[in-house]
């Protein structure tokens, strides 16, 4: 994403202040701009991140992009930058346990789109700029106070912005959520996870997403544009920045003989939380995306749920029906957190009895058409229209 010149000052007033210019904040800003609602979008970073982080855009999110921009091809632009994948395969080592297919989904987008997060952000930012909007960088919001008439935001430089509403799209450690005094209920998993983008020779090939179980833990391998692959794997003691040898060792343990890593593009280690905000609104302060819910990356739901939050919230702000936002979107987050928690615990169990039961039942269940359709629909978030 191309850097922008820092803006010297904030406007004095706006209708909606959006804190955080990741995918959620950008999608909210586009929704507000399309509806003609005045807003200011702030971010503490001098420029957008250039790492891939979230790497899948699901069918419902592509539908949202269609609805946001039916005449300008917002989803088509993103699709042109990614790889549509129609099958998700589950293995134990090299043994295929089953396939979840997206081909039968009732949508114009019967696939998962593999595309780096920075491309998703770039497409949203281009649309925002075409609508006359911009991201105000770097402006770190350090405090918010609300009263019956509005919200006053204060930045690290002492500047203030007065808004009718403020939205926290500022991630798990949300300043807006903290200022609102909203609890963030949940906990973290014992496992740590390695995230890496690599170039490699991969036996299953680039036309599927692979979830591989194993006694040492799980590994997810997904293709990215440019011949790269995204790796997500559990690890008990991974370094903060895993190197190529670390990633190769993880793949050798989980999928022996299947992968040869030739280059490491980017890597990180992280701990996963599963949490949901106790509420999405307190007065004039509202939450969306990771500020409202965080969960396992199993299924690739996080960024997608956030973009859909943003679209629903933008329409609620434009229509003056804010009570509908929480009632519609918080139940979705609860389902997503529950689904990803089940997938994570199923994938990471080291109990040999449970592993054996999982590996016996999964191939049988996934062949039942109704169950396969239900799982594919849930992963694609098409139940959340």
Q: In the chain, where are the structural domains located?
A: 13-85+107-186+274-340
* CA–CA distance, 110 with 103 (Å, rounded to integer): 5
pLDDT tens across 248-263, in order? 999 999 899 999 999 9
DSSP string, 52-110: --S-EE-HHHHHHHHHH-TTTTHHHHHHTTSEEE-EEEEEETTEEEEEEE-TT-SSS--
* Residue 176: strand, helix, or coil: helix
Q: pTM of this prediction?
A: 0.93
* CA–CA distance, 167 with 174 (Å, rounded to integer): 10
What are φ and ψ of residue 79, in 5° steps?
A: -60, -40
Distance of CA 75 to CAs 50, 72, 82, 127, 314, Å?
20, 9, 11, 11, 18
- Comparing CA positions, the residue from 232, 192, 243 lying closest to residue 209 is 232
- Tell me the fold of 13-85+107-186+274-340: FAD/NAD(P)-binding domain (3.50.50)
pLDDT tens across 94-124, in order? 889 999 999 999 999 999 999 999 999 999 9
Higher local confidence (pLDDT), 184 or 93:
184
Alpha carbons within 13 angstroms on the beta-carbon side of residue 378 total 19
pLDDT tens across 336-383, in order? 999 888 888 887 787 888 888 988 998 999 999 999 999 999 999 998
pLDDT tens across 194-212, in order? 999 999 999 999 999 999 8
CA 320 to mean position of chain CA atoms: 27
Six token digits for residue 1: 């994403």
């Amino acid at each position: 994403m191309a850097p922008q010149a820092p803006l010297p000052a904030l406007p004095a007033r706006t209708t909606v202040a959006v804190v955080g210019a990741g995918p959620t904040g950008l999608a909210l800003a586009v929704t507000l701009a399309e509806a003609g609602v005045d807003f200011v979008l702030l971010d503490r970073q001098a420029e957008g991140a250039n790492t891939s982080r979230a790497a899948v855009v699901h069918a419902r999110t592509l539908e949202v992009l269609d609805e946001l921009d039916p005449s300008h091809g917002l989803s088509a632009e993103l699709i042109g930058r990614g790889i549509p994948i129609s099958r998700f395969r589950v293995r134990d080592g090299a043994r295929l346990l089953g396939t979840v297919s997206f081909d039968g989904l009732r949508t114009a987008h019967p696939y998962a789109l593999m595309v780096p997060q920075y491309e998703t952000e770039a497409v949203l930012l281009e649309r925002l700029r075409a609508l006359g909007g911009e991201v105000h960088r770097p402006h770190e919001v350090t405090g918010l106070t609300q009263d019956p008439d509005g919200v006053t935001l204060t930045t690290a430089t002492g500047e203030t912005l007065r808004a009718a509403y403020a939205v926290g799209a500022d991630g798990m450690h949300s300043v807006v959520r903290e200022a609102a005094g909203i609890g963030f209920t949940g906990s973290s998993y014992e496992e740590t996870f390695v995230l890496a983008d690599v170039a490699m020779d991969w036996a299953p090939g680039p036309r599927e997403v692979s979830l591989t179980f194993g006694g040492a833990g799980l590994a997810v391998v997904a293709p990215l544009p440019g011949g790269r692959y995204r790796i997500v794997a559990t690890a008990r003691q991974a370094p903060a920045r895993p190197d190529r040898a670390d990633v190769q060792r993880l793949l050798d343990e989980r999928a022996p003989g299947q992968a040869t890593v030739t280059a490491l593009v980017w890597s990180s280690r992280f701990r996963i939380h599963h949490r949901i905000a106790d509420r999405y609104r307190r007065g004039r302060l509202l939450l969306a995306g990771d500020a409202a819910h965080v969960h396992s990356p199993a299924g690739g739901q996080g960024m997608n749920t956030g973009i859909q939050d943003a679209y629903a919230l933008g329409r609620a702000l434009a229509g003056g029906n804010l009570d509908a936002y929480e009632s519609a979107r918080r139940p979705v987050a609860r389902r997503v957190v529950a689904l990803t928690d089940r997938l994570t615990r199923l994938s990471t169990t080291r109990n040999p009895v449970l592993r054996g039961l999982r590996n016996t039942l999964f191939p049988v269940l996934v062949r039942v058409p109704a169950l396969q359709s239900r799982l594919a629909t849930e992963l694609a978030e098409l139940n959340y229209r």
